[in-house]
Amino acid sequence: MNLRFKLIIFDWDGTLVDSTQRIVDSMQQAAAEVGLPKVADAAVQNIIGLGLPEALRTVWPVIDEPQLQAMTQVYARYFVADSQVAMGFFPGTPEFLAGLVEQGYLLAVATGKSRRGLDRMLRDLKIGHRFAATRCADETRSKPHPLMLKELLSELNVAPDEALMVGDTTYDLDMANAAGMASVAMGHGAHDDDVLLACGPLTICHSIHELNDWIRING
């Protein structure tokens, strides 16, 4: 098969995993426990995709270092175990990823999650073997800086015009633009369609099934 793209790089939360509401719930409960002021759920949802320190400083600009460290720990506890909001793959995701690998695509992950958090989810969801490489915000620059994409391209020896970024936030799409890569937006995650489309993705999909169909025709 003659593939337009050799490599497809996925964001994690809100793109492959339906975790947006769990992130919001965990962040709000952690903030209440630490003593930070209450904010609207939309303010938390808007920063999904950033590295955690950058996200916390965006939502709470007055946060000090002790509060930042406390939030990092308490948020992780809620997200991993204490939040009662369900979380899992969007329907069809494991089969979709397996099919892409069978067709000859290289797959990678570029995420605002920590390395510890991503590795735990890859293990728990039994999906890590599908990805040739992964990059997390705590081991490189946070989105929308393009460094994590450039590192993945270098590691896998793929040119920018041979790779596709798939994500649900403007941070993903802006990162792809800065790296000279094409992108596809996912409208089932954290950011609204209009702001995603303003970033110039090739298309916007609203389910994994739509994305699979688009790649089959265009990828």
Reply yes or no on whether 124 is catalytic. Answer: no
Annotated catalytic residue within 13, 25, 172, 174: 13
Is 13 marked active-site? yes
How many residues are recorded in the chain? 219
Which candidate in 11, 18, 168, 174 is catalytic? 11
Give the contacts of 198 (CB within 8 A, at least 6 positions apart). Answer: 170
Annotated catalytic residues are 11, 13
